[in-house]
Amino acid sequence: MNKIWLIIKREYSTRVKNKTFLLTTFLAPIGIVVFIAALTLVMSSESDDQKQIVVIDQSNLLEGSVKATNNIAFTFTKDNFTQSIKAYKKGENNGILVIAPLDDPTASKYVVNFHSDEQLALDESSRLERSISKKVRNFKLRELEISEELLSNLDTDISINPNMVKSDKKVSSITSAVGGILGGIVGYAMFFIILIYGMQVMRSVMEEKISRIVEVIISSVKPFELMMGKVIGVGLVGLTQISIWLLLSVLLFTVGSTFFGMDASSMAAPNLDPELQAQAETAFSNKDKIAQILTELAELNWWKIIPLTLFYFFAGYFAYASLFAAVGSAVGEDINEANSLTMPIMLPLVFAVYIGVSAVQAPNSTVAVWGSMLPLLSSIVMPTRLPMDPPIWQIAVSIISLIAFVILFTWLAGRIYRVGILMYGKKASFKELAKWIFYKG
């Protein structure tokens, strides 16, 4: 036990003191924030080559005003088209927007011409289209004598309210949405963490084997202790890194929004198509909904979700990292060989992510239910379902099968590992690995 502790300590401290670790841990989040800040700055800065667009508004639709942007300024003119074209040719303007007279209030199509050798940027043109469409609508309302109030009476906000039949739990329509998003994030995070740190375990095992230090080490400790120490040590490094990232992103986000006035929406989507942004705004526009999401989040059973998620994380990491260690012990210097052996470990992982994603949309589908109980998949699939409160019996089955699986697979991995680390020059096939499991001693 004492020796395992020594191994964990070495694995942890050599990694944490490593320059690459410090760089990725501390600079990566800062780098991302700086990048976003720079992007926001570029997006909001005044463009030095603002284009001058002349508008000939024959229907007086825009009523003499269009909001200028960083890239385009509009001037309304009483000049006719030929005069304006002349001016364009002289270089006095960069384009002419001709808004034809509008007199048919029932017209379903309305063409506005833009004359220039350059094209309008996509977002500029859709912005113009939207503001013209709004004016046309107002014009039509006026002409057809429809009041704004009457029109708004046509809009009805529909929400389907789920009601539990067997239990008296209260659920709302967005519980599933909030839970789903949360579950999806957790699922993906699990996948990457298991993969990244599992691979690290594998590389570390290969390094020890190639440098031949392993023979010295296992003359003092049991191979299984060495493997376990490594898996735990690397796992703790992962935990440290993730905690620092979480902490730093919260910190930087707070600092950023306080001092630089970056608001959440511009950080999240600085370059989003305005139309999409508008949609997003309508979806989450009213404060009621945000408040509701927050209450939903608060009402989630965190006392159940957090410990269970941690359990699935540790169990999943443990099982997969042991398998990666076994693969690392079986291959020699040839990294290609490693690739073909990691394939069968990657497959269930990737498969689990897909099931996890579908579980977000349909948490009680057959695939999701089975996926969250089968041990190779459950460590990723179950956490995605947890916010949506799966039945207790499923959680129980899933936990028991996962624990059994972890014990079985660390044992199997240990059997392969103990033979593999001393085996040189033998090509490791699956048949060979299977034989190793049954070697004596």
Partner 1 sequence: MNILSLDNVVKQYHNHTAVDQVSFDIPKGIVFGLLGPNGAGKSSLIRIITSITAADEGVILLDGEPINEMTSSHMGYMPEERGLYKKMKVGEQLLYLAQLKGMDKKEAKESIKNWFIKFGIEDWWGKKVEELSKGMQQKIQFIATVVHNPKLLILDEPFSGLDPINTNLIKDEIAELNRQGTSIIFSTHRMEQVEKVCDRIVLINQGKVILEGDVDQVQQEYKDNIFRIEFDGNMPSDLKSPHFRIISDDDKSVTIQATEGHNGNELLQNLISKGIEIKSYQEVLPSLNEIFIKKVGESNE
* Residue ranges in contact with partner 1 by CB under 8 A: 3, 6-7, 10, 14, 18, 208, 211-222, 422, 435, 439-441
Burial class (CB in 10 A: 0-12, 13-18, 19+), 245: middle
Place of tokens 């990048």: 35
Which strand (E) or helix (H) includes residue 97? strand 95-99
Contact, 182 vs 307, CB < 8 A?
no
Query: Tokens 């039949």 label which residue?
Result: 165
Token pair belonging to 273: 């198509």
How many CB atoms sit inside 10 A of residue 38's CB? 10
Q: How far is the CB of 413 from partner 1 (least distance, A)?
A: 18
Nearest distance from residue 44's CB to partner 1, in Å?
45
Nearer to partner 1, 18 or 279 (CB): 18
- C-alpha span between 419 and 32 (Å, rounded): 44
Residue 239 beta carbon to partner 1: minimum distance, rounded to whole angstroms = 22
Cβ-based nearer residue to partner 1, 9 or 86: 9
Residue 204 CB, nearest approach to partner 1 (Å): 10
Nearer to partner 1, 215 or 281 (CB): 215
The CB-of-332 to partner 1 minimum distance in angstroms stands at 13
Q: How far apart are CB 188 and partner 1 at their closest, in Å?
A: 32
Alpha-helical regions (H) of 261-334: 264-268, 274-283, 287-299, 302-330
d(CA 369, CA 347): 19
Contact 371, 381 (CB under 8 A): yes
Nearer to partner 1, 229 or 371 (CB): 229
| Angle formed by the axes of helices 302-330 and 223-259, nearest 10° | 130
Largest CA distance in the chain: 97
Of the pair 407, 422, the CB lying nearest partner 1 is at 422
The 3-state DSSP class for residue 75 equals: strand
Q: Nearer to partner 1 by C-beta: 124 or 432?
A: 432
Comparing CB distances to partner 1, the nearer of 216 and 283 is 216
C-alpha 21/C-alpha 15 separation (Å) is 7
**At its nearest, how many Å lie between partner 1 and the CB of residue 237?**
15
